[in-house]
Structure 1
Amino acid sequence: MQHQERNGIFDLSKTGQPFRIWDRSAVPMEGDVLKPFAYEEWLGREIGRGEQGPGVHIWRHRRGAVLGTRDRRLPHAEDAIRELEHEGWSVGVRNSGGAFVPLDDGVVNVTLLMPNSDGRMEHRADFLRMVRLLSVTLSAWELHAEAGEIAGAYCPGEFDVAVAGRKFCGIAQRRQVRAVNVQAFVVAGGSGRQLAGVAERFYAIAGGGHTGLDYPRIVPASMASIAELAVDPNLNAETFVRELKDVLIGLGGVEAPLPMPPEGEVANLAYKLRERYDHR
């Protein structure tokens, strides 16, 4: 990989030190879906204070439904949340941008956590780091990834990442005082259409049939997993993570144990996130 491409993803001249690869994706998490976001909130603070260096957090969660703040304000959001919880989904409202995202075993969550000591506001550049990382990773399957909003996709935005017009990834950012977290959900395995159906049903209930409300109109065929895009039945979350880590190691990353927060810290932060963004 050329030097210019390397710096387009993780510029070591800016981070000042090698970055860590924190991979907890081998077994999908269960329970409160806000806990991994709370963990990243804590980790971002540690990075901002210089207690931890930059890194990439990789994780999965089984049956997690993550809402955006606008989703939570829909008139029948409470009914839609109860329906999901009745079916065994853990529901939470995240503190980064975006809209409803369903998580399952085939979805790999990838977060770039970087220091931002000078308070720079390079939103677009930080989004593009993730786009480049995914583009390089997908080249292993000869897939060409492009960024741009995909009509009909769930969690739509300028930095949807798609192949041949079908979205497999969305990106959001959480900017802290001295750190930046760039979060991506990557539908690596399974059915993109099936996940889109979950989002479609959420909005059908939460919107109550009101056509004038501002929420995504889901077209399930607009979504696909990487496995579906590559037409490779052997491609799944695990094979995607292996390729992703090979790319990250080639960029200078080093696998490392997960930093451990003080006991109870993640649960406390998850509680605070729920109180602030999802008070019921």
Structure 2
Amino acid sequence: MLRKKAVMLDQHMLTHRESLLPFIYTDLLAEYAGDHQMCCFHFWKMEHQVILGMKDTRVASLKEGVQSIKNNSYQVVVRNSGGLAVVADEGILNFSIILPQPTDKYSFSIDQGYELMKSIIEKAFAEFEMDIEAFEVSDSYCPGDFDLSINGKKFAGISQRRIKNGIGIMIYLSICGDQNKRGEIVREFYQTSLVEKFGTDGFPPVNPDSMANLSDLLQANLTVEDVKERISHVLNQTFDFSEKYDQTFKDFLISTEFNDKFEKQNERMKQRNQIIDWSENY
């Protein structure tokens, strides 16, 4: 079977000053995937960050909610897609699969995207012989139909974004660290910003106990780097990461074309984040 062409972008720990980058890259990689009929994979991590969805910016008391996050020594960024608040820190791995939109009459459905991501995660941890289930954990932060859980505890959430000729399937994986604290921070954000409307209007009644780290669920001493290696091993069995594709991709990342597109996306993200005074949070 012919393996599909693929490239990898691995962004290591991003500071708050760099917190717009993964969202900029998602859109640029989606365009690249469509233009070059190439599968792109993207790893990234952030330092103590709460990532808000666009819906979160419409809470009644946004300023007070953002301050509650800062009081917990986390910073805030607004992503360029829907969904709700998630946490990114040293123990969380973010991973994206970015595919070209099919050029034939058969479209790639939303469910197919979710199933692809779930399949990769299952293969990465097949040795543990644990059932990974996909269903909404309604009292987790950022609940969705394809939350991934073990024994009822959510450890990952999956979302999708479709841009021009590309499809992005994104997952955050809680690997290690203080997951209960992450839940408490998001719960406090909603309690502070919604007050008596906490848990209503489509915002989750966050229960920190609804989520757990993958390392705890599997009773294994996992790190983010361990999980990256496991996922990369699965990808290398399935996709063709030839050096020629990698070199073409690297040339694109330093090209004038890329820089022009990057600056346009960067300005859009800065404008989106004006609502939380992002530039004043360095």
Q: Place the TM-score, normalised by the shorter chain, in its bin.
A: 0.7 to 0.9
Say yes or no: does 1:109 pair with 2:97: no
Of the three residues 58, 61, 73, the one matched with 1:76 is: 61
Q: CA deviation at 1:278?
A: 5.7
Of the three residues 41, 45, 62, the one matched with 1:56 is: 41
Q: CA deviation at 1:174?
A: 0.8
Q: How does the TM-score come out when normalised to structure 2? A: 0.84
Secondary structure of 1:75's aligned partner: coil
Task: Identify the residue that residue 280 of structure 2 maps to in structure 1.
Answer: none
Task: Identify the residue that residue 147 of structure 2 maps to in structure 1.
Answer: 160
- Where do 5+ consecutive residues of structure 2 fail to align? 277-282
Q: CA deviation at 1:223?
A: 0.5
Secondary structure of 2:169's aligned partner: strand
Task: Identify the residue that residue 41 of structure 1 maps to in structure 2.
Answer: 27
Q: Distance in 1 between matches of 2:195 and 2:62?
A: 9
- Where do 5+ consecutive residues of structure 1 fail to align? 4-10
Is the deviation greater in 188-197 or in 221-230? 188-197
Task: Give the counterpart letter for 2:88 in structure 1.
Answer: L
Say yes or no: does 1:100 pair with 2:100: no
Q: CA deviation at 1:79?
A: 1.6
Secondary structure of 2:131's aligned partner: coil
Task: Give the counterpart letter for 1:147 in structure 2.
Answer: A
When the two chains are superposed, the root-mean-square deviation of aligned CA atoms in Å is 2.4
- The answer (yes or no) to whether the contact 2:33–2:40 under 8 Å persists in 1 is no
Secondary structure of 2:203's aligned partner: coil
From the superposition, tell whether residues 87 and 192 of structure 1 become closer, same or farther in structure 2 (CA, over 3 Å): closer
Task: Give the counterpart letter for 2:205 in structure 1.
Answer: R
Q: Which has the higher helix share?
A: 2
Q: CA deviation at 1:80?
A: 1.3
Say yes or no: does 1:29 pair with 2:17: no
Q: CA deviation at 1:135?
A: 1.4
Q: Distance in 2 between matches of 1:253 and 1:169?
A: 27
- The answer (yes or no) to whether the contact 1:153–1:220 under 8 Å persists in 2 is yes
From the superposition, tell whether residues 92 and 270 of structure 1 become closer, same or farther in structure 2 (CA, over 3 Å): farther
- The answer (yes or no) to whether the contact 1:167–1:222 under 8 Å persists in 2 is yes
From the superposition, tell whether residues 66 and 274 of structure 1 become closer, same or farther in structure 2 (CA, over 3 Å): same
Task: Identify the residue that residue 145 of structure 1 maps to in structure 2.
Answer: 132
Secondary structure of 1:18's aligned partner: strand
- The answer (yes or no) to whether the contact 1:68–1:100 under 8 Å persists in 2 is yes
Q: Distance in 2 between matches of 1:229 and 1:138?
A: 12
Of the three residues 213, 218, 229, the one matched with 2:206 is: 218
Task: Give the counterpart letter for 2:35 in structure 1.
Answer: R
Matches within 5 A, 1:180-199: 180-199=167-186
Q: CA deviation at 1:203?
A: 0.8
Task: Identify the residue that residue 7 of structure 1 maps to in structure 2.
Answer: none
Task: Identify the residue that residue 67 of structure 1 maps to in structure 2.
Answer: 52
| Identical pairs, percent | 23
Q: Distance in 2 between matches of 1:172 and 1:278?
A: 24
From the superposition, tell whether residues 90 and 263 of structure 1 become closer, same or farther in structure 2 (CA, over 3 Å): farther
From the superposition, tell whether residues 140 and 265 of structure 1 become closer, same or farther in structure 2 (CA, over 3 Å): farther
- The answer (yes or no) to whether the contact 1:33–1:65 under 8 Å persists in 2 is no
Secondary structure of 1:197's aligned partner: helix
Q: CA deviation at 1:84?
A: 2.5
